[in-house]
A and B are shown apart, each in its own frame.
Chain A
Amino acid sequence: MGYQLSFTQIWANFDKLSGGLLLSLELALISIAIGALIGLVLAIWYVSAGRIGRTLISAYVEFIRNVPLLLLVYLVFYGLPTAVNIAYSAPVSFVATLSLYAGAYLVEVFRSGLDAVPKGLMDAGKAMGLTPWQRLIYVRLPTMTRITLPALSNTFISLFKDTSIASVIAVPELTYGAQWINNKTFRIVEVYAVTTVLYVVTGYVILFGLRLLERRFRVER
Chain B
Amino acid sequence: MDAVLYSIPYLLDGLGITILVSLIVVALSLIIGVILGVGIIYGPLPLRLLIRLIGDGIRGIPILVLIFLVYYGMPALGLNLSSFWSAVTALTIFKSAHVIEYVRGAVLSIPRGQMEAGMSIGLVFRERLRFVIFPQAVRRFLPPWLNGVTDAVKGSALVSLLGVVDLMHAINQVIGRTYEPLPLYILGALLYFAINYSLSTLSKVLERRYSYIRE
Partner of B188, one of A1, A3, A71: A71
How far does the alpha carbon of A3 sit from the alpha carbon of B76 in the complex, in Å? 7
Asked if A178 is an interface residue, CB under 8 A from chain B, the answer is yes
Known: A67-B192, A164-B62, A167-B64. A188 touches B182 (CB 8 A): no
Interface of chain A residues 54 through 82 with chain B (CB within 8 A): 62-63, 65-72, 74-75, 78-80, 82
Interface of chain B residues 142 through 168 with chain A (CB within 8 A): 150, 153-158, 160-161, 168
* Chain A positions within 8 Å of B197 at CB level: 62, 66
B180:A82 contact, CB within 8 angstroms: yes
Q: Chain B interface: which size bin?
A: 35 or more
Asked if B61 is an interface residue, CB under 8 A from chain A, the answer is yes
A67:B73 contact, CB within 8 angstroms: no
Partner of B65, one of A189, A192, A204: A192
B185:A71 contact, CB within 8 angstroms: yes
User: B160-181 toward A: CB 8 Å interface, digit per residue (1/0)?
Assistant: 1100000010011001000011
Within the complex, the shortest CB–CB distance from A108 to chain B, in Å, comes to 12
State how many residues of chain A have any CB contact under 8 Å with chain B: 39
* Chain A positions within 8 Å of B213 at CB level: none
A75:B186 contact, CB within 8 angstroms: yes
A199:B62 contact, CB within 8 angstroms: yes
Within the complex, the shortest CB–CB distance from A16 to chain B, in Å, comes to 15
B interface majority secondary structure: helix
* Chain A positions within 8 Å of B188 at CB level: 71
Asked if B68 is an interface residue, CB under 8 A from chain A, the answer is yes
Known: A75-B185, A189-B73. A66 touches B192 (CB 8 A): yes
A200:B61 contact, CB within 8 angstroms: yes
Partner of A79, one of B62, B150, B185: B185
Asked if A143 is an interface residue, CB under 8 A from chain B, the answer is no
Asked if B57 is an interface residue, CB under 8 A from chain A, the answer is yes
B185:A161 contact, CB within 8 angstroms: no
Partner of B60, one of A80, A163, A182, A199: A199
A188:B76 contact, CB within 8 angstroms: yes
The 7 closest A-B pairs by CB, nearest first: A164-B62, A66-B196, A68-B157, A200-B60, A79-B182, A188-B72, A75-B185
User: Can you list 28 A-B pairs, Cβ within 8 angstroms, ordered by A?
Assistant: A62-B193, A65-B150, A66-B150, A66-B195, A67-B154, A68-B154, A68-B155, A69-B154, A70-B160, A74-B171, A74-B172, A74-B181, A75-B185, A78-B181, A82-B180, A82-B181, A164-B63, A164-B64, A165-B64, A175-B65, A175-B68, A189-B72, A192-B69, A196-B57, A196-B61, A199-B61, A200-B56, A203-B60
